[in-house]
Every structure is written in structure tokens, then in C-alpha cells.
Structure 1
Amino acid sequence: MNTNFNKMMFFYTMMMGTLMSMSANNWLMIWIGMEISTTAIMPLIPNKNFLSSESTVKYFIIQSISSSMMMLGVLLLLINSKIEYQMILTSSMMMKMGVAPFHNWILEMTEGLELMTMFLILTFMKMAPLNMISYLTFKNNLFIILSLIMGSLFGLNQTSMRKMMCYSSIFNMGFIISSIQINSIWWTYLILYSMMLAMILYLMKKMKIYYINQMTLNENKMSLKMNIWLAMMAMGGMPPMIGFMLKLMVIQLMLINKEYLISTLMIMTSMLVMFYYLRMSFISIMFSSLMMKWSMWNTEKSSTWIIMFNLIAMPYIVMLKT
């Protein structure tokens, strides 16, 4: 995404729409804020990739359908209908975020996105819908279970790094939605997950890796390979990385709320997600490496802040929990 005045204007308009939606005190302003942010991000999607125009159309159609569903739910609320309006509102927000079972559209469109735009759609564009879901009292157990299962199982046979990041995002959305009633927990999870995703996408762009088999062919420095290894471990949830503390925080909350089925499912599916991140990290280190392993600490600045973030953030989370 080239930096120019038009794209900066659309980016700030998108931020303004999201902030407007999150700070609104009525349903109409929430809807207007979401529409502004959706309209502003669409000009950021087209790029040199020939699939980008198709991705733009898919994004527009899905966001239009979900916005229409949201307005239907608000109308049912206003006329005091006997139809369950909270279910319609929740389903519309799940579709807008690409949560299972409404996740197929986001998998198809990511192949035509630049990594920066993909990061915005997977993180920033989900803030306003999540904030709206936190206002509702609808039980989200079905969406949580489907997101955990689909995000872990379907990510196992993927070779595209973009689709793997999407399935990982769907899986992590299950954790975020399960803690949606406690703002401090889901906000902490979303912000730190966004940082971990930013690290992986930054390394993907720097190493020019978009498929798993490219990890065996790259000729990057050992420090970069160690970076992507640490970032994968953090995203998968390997202790003592930051991702482990985030998952532990949510699982502990589920146990306190006596949601034993969901907490057991979280542990089991986390093992599957850990497996495909371990597979990627081992491929990146073990293959085509002629450097002695004890020489790997000749790091760069980018390597240093990735290592420090993963190792120092753990005590912060422990302190936050207490």
C-alpha cells in the first residue's frame, strides 16, 4: 500500500468511523460509524494483484448484507417484536467480522489483499463489532465452539500463509468472544493479538514468504529465522510467550464461570493450532540453514524488539491478572 494523500485520508476516515461507532450511545450512530469505516477501507483494498478487485466486491457485498441484518435487528427492537432481535444483531456482527460459520468470505478475499490491508481487516475493523456485541446479553456459545473447531482443524491442511493467518484469526476470535462481557480482558487480548499478528506479517513481508514451502528455500539471515520462530511460538501459545498468558487468562475466566465444555475445547484446539505453528517454525529453522546455531544472536534492531516483546510482556500480563 503506497503512502499518498488519498490513502492517508481514507485511513484516518476509517479510524474516525470506528471511533465514532465505539463512542456512540445509540444504535443509529453505531451503524453510521461502521458504514463510514467500511466505505473508507474499500479504496485501500485495490492493488497490483489481479484478485484485488474481486476481493473489493466480495467485501462490499458481505458488509452490505451484515449492515442490512443489523438494521433489521434494530427495527425489531424498536417495534418490540417477539422475534429474537439480539440473535439477528449478533449474527450480523459475526458476519461482519468473519467469525465461523460466516467465515468463508474472508478466506477468499485475503489472497488479493496487501498485508497492511489484511492486518486492518483482521484487527482494527473488528473493534466496533466486538464493542457492540459487548452491549448484548445473547449467549455466543455456538459461535465460540464453531470458531475454535474450524479455526484449528481447517488450518492444519493450509499451505498459504495468508489463509493460515485467517484461520488463526477465526480461532482467536473464539477466545475474544468468550470473554466479551469483561471489557478489560477482551481489549487486552485483542490489542496484544494485534501486536503478535503485526510481527508475523512484518516478517512475512521482509522475508517475502507467502507459502509454507517458501520457508525451505529462503536464504535469509538466521536472526530473521529466529524472529519468525519466536513470533510463531507466541501466536501459537507456547509458554513463556505472550500468547500463552492470553489464552491462560481466558481459560481461567471460563473455569470461573463454570463453562467446562468450552474451556476443555479451548485447550484441545490450542494444541492443534500449536501444531501447525510448530510445523512452520521448524521448517524455517531446520531446513537450508548453514549457520551455526550459536551464531544466531547477531541480531538486528527488529530482532531485538520482537524478542523483548515476547519475553517481557509475560510478567505484565501476570501483574494485570492479579
Structure 2
Amino acid sequence: MTKNFNFLMFFHTMIMGTMMSMSANNWLIIWTGLEISIMSIMPMISNSNFLSSEASVKYFMIQSISSSMMMLGVLLLLINSKIDYQMILTSSMMLKMGIAPFHNWILEMIESVELMIMFLLLTLMKIAPLNMISYLMFKTNLFIFMSLLIGSLLGLSQTSLRKMMCYSSIFNLGFILASISLNSIWWFYMIMYSLMLVMILFLMNKMKINYISQLSLNENKSSLKMNIWLAMLSMGGMPPMMGFMMKLMIIQMMMTNKEFFLSIIMIASSTLVMFYYIRMSFISILLASSTVKWKIMNTMKSSSWIMMANITMMPLMLTLKT
């Protein structure tokens, strides 16, 4: 979508809807803010491409179903029904965010939208539903378990970088859901995840790549390859990058609360996620490139902004953790 006045208007109303949902003190205003955000991002999804128009229709249908479920849960709450309204409200928010097992719709959309819209769908549009889940007392261990397994296992077989980022988002949402029940650290995790995602999407747009094979065939500058290598290692959780420190804090808190089973699943699934990010890094740096490998070190100065953003975050996170 062209970055014109219409785009700025829809983006502004989407931000206002998200802020309205987060600052509201009743369910009706929360629902209103969510609907404003949904109706604002739909024109941003749709453009001259036929596939993006189809994606906006799919998005509208899914969000309509989840909004109907949310209103049903609110009505059950108001009439003091014996039906578990918290389960219905939580399920509606999971469907809105595309968390496993409600993740298939976002995978179909992600290939036909622009990278900026993809970033908004994977980050900003999930903040208000996550904030609403933090108000509920419903146990989300099943959703955490499925998100960790599906996000790590199904991401191994992907060749599309967009779908791999989407499965990585599902995996990280499992960590965010686990941190919601602990304290408000999920805000910090979400900010750090958004920062890492915008680094990778920026480099994907600059290098014009959408598939793993293009990492080896695309003869970009070594500085760009070094940048995307560092960004992927951070997203995968390689120490001492900031992606590792975020996951370490959540796992430590889970073990402190004696959630040993979920902690084991987190560690095992993080290993799988680290594997497919290392695989992409290996392809981009070491394979099928005519660039002399030892000359990569000469480009470290040009790629220092991503490296510094990843490494200098570690002392800050250790300070916040203590």
C-alpha cells in the first residue's frame, strides 16, 4: 500500500484503537477498541494485488468470528451463567492473535501482504488481546504447550522466510503467554521481540529475499549478509544475544514457580528453533557464495549497529532481572 495520507490515517486509527482497548475499564470499550483496530488495518492489508484483497477478506471473517465469541463470553459474564465465560473469552483472543491451534489463517495471509503489514500483524495487533488475557484468570498452559511445539516443529520444514517468521512468532507467543501469568515482564519481551523482527524484515526487504534458497544465490554485500546472520542468531536465542536473555529470564521464572514440565518443553523447543535459524545463517554465510569468506570481517564496521543492539542489551536485561 502506498504510504500516502490514507495509510497514515488508517495507521493512526489503528494505534488509537489499540490504546483504547488497553486503557479501558469495561468489556464494551475493549471490544470497541479492538474493532477499530481491525477495521483500520483491513484497508492497509488490501491493495491492488488480488491475493492481498483475498487476505483482507479472510482476516475480516476470522476477526468477526472471534469478536462474536468475545461478545458471547461477555454476555455469559453479565447474566452469571454457569458456563465458563473465561474459556470463551480466552479462546476468542487466541483466535484473534493466531496462536496454536488457531494459527492456520495467519499462515495463509502472511505470503500475500507487505512486510510492514506483516510486522503489524505479528506484533502491534497482538498487544491488545494479550493485555486482555492478562485480566483473566484462565490457565493457558495448553495454548503455551501447543504454541511451543507447533512453532518449533513445523518451522523446521519451511523454505519460505515469511512462514518461518510466522512460526517463530507463534513460538515466541508461547513464551509471552507463560510470562503473563508471572508478572508484567511480557511487555519487555514483546518490545525486544518486535525489535528483532523489524531488523530481519528490514534486511529481507533490502536484500529482496523471500525464500531460504535466495540467501545463498543472492550475491549481496557481505555487510548485509553479516547483518542478517546476527539478526537471525538473536531471534533464535544464541547467547549472548538479547534473544537468549529474554528466553532465559522466562525459563528461570517458570522454574521458580515450579513449572518444570513447561520449562523442559521451552528448552527443547528453543533448541529446535535455534537449529533452523542456524541453518539459515549457515546458508547465507558459508554456502554457494563467490565472496571470499575471510573478507567478511572487513565489513564488521558497517554491520556493527545490529551487533551492538544485540550484545549491549544483555547487561540491561541482567539489571532488570535482578
TM-score normalized with structure 2 length: 0.97
C-alpha separation in 2, matches of 1:273 and 1:260 = 20
Aligned to 1:7: 7
Letter paired with 1:247: K
Q: CA RMSD in A?
A: 1.1
Letter paired with 1:83: I
Q: Where do residues 287-306 of structure 1 align in structure 2 (5 Å cutoff)?
A: 287=287, 288-299=289-300, 303-306=303-306
The Cα of 1:2 is off from its aligned counterpart by: 2.2
Which secondary structure state, in structure 1, belongs to the residue aligned with residue 229 of structure 2? helix
Q: Where do residues 1-322 of structure 1 align in structure 2 (5 Å cutoff)?
A: 1-287=1-287, 288-299=289-300, 303-322=303-322
The Cα of 1:293 is off from its aligned counterpart by: 2.1
- Larger mean CA deviation between 307-316 and 178-187 belongs to 178-187
Could you list the per-position Cα deviations for residues 267-300 of structure 1 after superposition, in whole angstroms to 9, with x for gaps in the alignment? 0000000000000010000121423424434357
Indicate how the Cα distance of structure 1 residues 10 and 65 shifts in structure 2: closer, same or farther if over 3 A, else same: same
Indicate how the Cα distance of structure 1 residues 255 and 214 shifts in structure 2: closer, same or farther if over 3 A, else same: same
- Structure 1 segments unaligned to the other structure (5+ residues): none
Which secondary structure state, in structure 1, belongs to the residue aligned with residue 102 of structure 2? coil
The Cα of 1:11 is off from its aligned counterpart by: 0.1
C-alpha separation in 2, matches of 1:223 and 1:164 = 23
Letter paired with 1:270: S
Task: Give the conservation status (yes or no) of the 8 Å contact 2:236–2:277.
Answer: yes
Task: Give the conservation status (yes or no) of the 8 Å contact 1:119–1:197.
Answer: yes
C-alpha separation in 1, matches of 2:137 and 2:253 = 17
Task: Give the conservation status (yes or no) of the 8 Å contact 1:200–1:231.
Answer: yes
Task: Give the conservation status (yes or no) of the 8 Å contact 1:222–1:291.
Answer: no
Which secondary structure state, in structure 1, belongs to the residue aligned with residue 138 of structure 2? coil
- Structure 2 segments unaligned to the other structure (5+ residues): none
- Larger mean CA deviation between 91-100 and 173-182 belongs to 173-182
Letter paired with 1:34: L
The Cα of 1:182 is off from its aligned counterpart by: 4.1
Could you list the per-position Cα deviations for residues 201-223 of structure 1 after superposition, in whole angstroms to 9, with x for gaps in the alignment? 00000001100011111111111
C-alpha separation in 1, matches of 2:294 and 2:272 = 28
Task: Give the conservation status (yes or no) of the 8 Å contact 1:200–1:232.
Answer: yes
C-alpha separation in 2, matches of 1:299 and 1:239 = 19
Letter paired with 2:222: M
Task: Give the conservation status (yes or no) of the 8 Å contact 2:226–2:296.
Answer: no
Letter paired with 2:12: Y
Indicate how the Cα distance of structure 1 residues 30 and 230 shifts in structure 2: closer, same or farther if over 3 A, else same: same
Task: Give the conservation status (yes or no) of the 8 Å contact 2:66–2:96.
Answer: yes
C-alpha separation in 2, matches of 1:149 and 1:205 = 29
The Cα of 1:51 is off from its aligned counterpart by: 1.2
C-alpha separation in 1, matches of 2:310 and 2:283 = 21
The Cα of 1:305 is off from its aligned counterpart by: 1.8
Task: Give the conservation status (yes or no) of the 8 Å contact 1:47–1:114.
Answer: no
Task: Give the conservation status (yes or no) of the 8 Å contact 2:222–2:291.
Answer: no
C-alpha separation in 2, matches of 1:30 and 1:276 = 38
Letter paired with 1:22: M
Task: Give the conservation status (yes or no) of the 8 Å contact 2:94–2:102.
Answer: yes
Letter paired with 1:6: N
Would you say how many aligned residue pairs link Structure 1 and Structure 2?
321
The Cα of 1:54 is off from its aligned counterpart by: 1.1
TM-score normalized with structure 1 length: 0.97
Letter paired with 1:251: I
C-alpha separation in 2, matches of 1:156 and 1:84 = 36
Could you list the per-position Cα deviations for residues 119-150 of structure 1 after superposition, in whole angstroms to 9, with x for gaps in the alignment? 00000000000000000000000000000000
Which secondary structure state, in structure 1, belongs to the residue aligned with residue 157 of structure 2? coil
C-alpha separation in 2, matches of 1:126 and 1:110 = 15
Task: Give the conservation status (yes or no) of the 8 Å contact 1:93–1:129.
Answer: yes
Task: Give the conservation status (yes or no) of the 8 Å contact 1:159–1:212.
Answer: yes
Letter paired with 2:292: M
